[in-house]
Amino acid sequence: MPSHKQQKGAAGENLAAAMLEKKGYVIMERNYRFLKAEVDLIAFLPAKDYTRGGDLVFVEVKWRRNADFATPEAAVSEAKKTQFA
C-alpha cells in the first residue's frame, strides 16, 4: 500500500496532468525512468500548424500547501535538470 506521501504525490501528478490536458497537452508518459533519472510527466503540445510539430515538455510535479517553504523552481536541483539534457 502506498504511503501517505506517495498518495499525495500521485494526487498532485493527477491534478497536473488534468490541467495540462485541459490546456491541450497530450500526456505521453508518467513517472518515466531512464537510468537513475525519473520525471513525473512527459507531455506534448501539438502546434496549431502541425507542420511545425509542437512542444515536448518534461514536468516535475511538486506538491506544496503554500509557497512559504520554497518556490517550485527551487525544489528541482540543477542535477535533476541536467539528467535529461
Instruction: DSSP letter for 69, please.
Output: S
List, for residues 68-77, the tens digit of each pLDDT value: 666 767 767 7
Torsion of CA 28, 32, 37, 41, to 10 degrees: 50
Confidence at residue 67, expressed as pLDDT on a 0 to 100 scale: 66
Please state whether the predicted TM-score (pTM) of the whole model is above 0.85.
no
Q: Where are the domains of the chain?
A: 4-82
Q: Is the confidence at residue 45, as pLDDT, over 90?
A: yes
pLDDT of residue 85 exceeding 70: no
Composition of the chain by helix, strand, coil, percent to 5: 35, 30, 35
